[in-house]
Amino acid sequence: MEIQERKSIEAFALKIRMAALEAIHSIGSGHVGGVMSISDTMAVLYGREMRFNPADPKWADRDYLVVSKGHAGPAVYATLALKGFFPYEELKTLNRGGTRLPSHCDRNKTPGIDVTTGSLGQGTSQAAGLALGNKLKGRKNRVFLIVGDGEMDEGQCWESFLFASAKKLGNLVVLIDWNKRQLDGYLDEVLPMGDFVAKMEAFGFDTVKVDGGNVEEIAAALERTRAGGDKPYAIVLDTVKGHGVDEIENTAMNHSMPVNDERFERWTAELKAKLDALEG
């Protein structure tokens, strides 16, 4: 990746974080931790890897994104707003009556959302189904699935992974947000999952682990998946829950947090300083 492209995508990731915080601040609280940990991945997907058309969200040749951890919706909405799928100011309607931006992703409400998610585990099956459908139709559309590490407690995830491997879905890319925390504690305290790389390989996936806060590593891993083939792909994103803002990172229970005026201003200033340093 060229230096300018890297800087552009890193800047995009910071803007996603700021926009997501603006949305969450408008309602007063929300799923901050998991939103921040996938922002770099969202920046690479929408800044480099995926095919999409904001003017035609249902474009037949688009790639699909399934965010199975649907509570990370603000990160998706921030990305879509920054890419022009809907007006940026609409982010301030998050989870309010009549909004097109509910707390969890909803394909019937939000332009650019392909799959309704939020009931953890179910997005994995839907992604596998989309990938199989595209393969049977001979289409070139790819399906990108973001799944949380705590979500992997769900048996449905592993059933869908077995299915994807059996059907040789080389058009499916699973991105595991391994931020090591879930709703009510650390992953290893709630239900230790062991080695995600070894598990996904055992389930028949072409698997790599990358630094989920490094856009170059994420981009390189995604480039590998363009080859298709007879195996689905898995990218284990070694992330930090709340990545990007020191206070959020260092708050143990950061799955959901209040975002009052003072926090919003302070956190946004930290991100803005990083953006200014990057662009200056």
Instruction: Give 186-245 pLDDT, tens digit per residue.
Output: 999 999 999 999 999 999 999 999 999 999 999 999 999 999 999 999 999 999 999 999
For the segment 59-65, the average pLDDT, to the nearest whole number, is 97
Classify domain 3-279 by CATH number: 3.40.50.970
**Residue 139's pLDDT is what?**
96
Distance CA 173, CA 234 (A): 6
For residue 273, name the pLDDT band (cuts at 50, 70, 90): very high
For residue 280, name the pLDDT band (cuts at 50, 70, 90): confident
Yes or no: say if 260 and 30 are a contact pair by the CB < 8 Å rule.
no
Where in 79-192 does DSSP place strands (E)?
A: 143-148, 172-178, 181-182, 185-186
The tens digit of pLDDT for each residue in 167-177 reads 999 999 999 99
Residue with tokens 């921030």: 78
The Cβ of residue 125 has, within 10 Å, a number of other Cβ atoms equal to 18
Distance CA 178, CA 155 (A): 17
For the segment 112-129, the average pLDDT, to the nearest whole number, is 95
**Residue 118's pLDDT is what?**
87
Distance CA 54, CA 57 (A): 5
% of the chain with per-residue pLDDT over 70: 100
**Residue 182's pLDDT is what?**
93
Q: What is the DSSP letter of 234?
A: E
For residue 164, name the pLDDT band (cuts at 50, 70, 90): very high
Yes or no: say if 42 and 50 are a contact pair by the CB < 8 Å rule.
no
For residue 87, name the pLDDT band (cuts at 50, 70, 90): very high
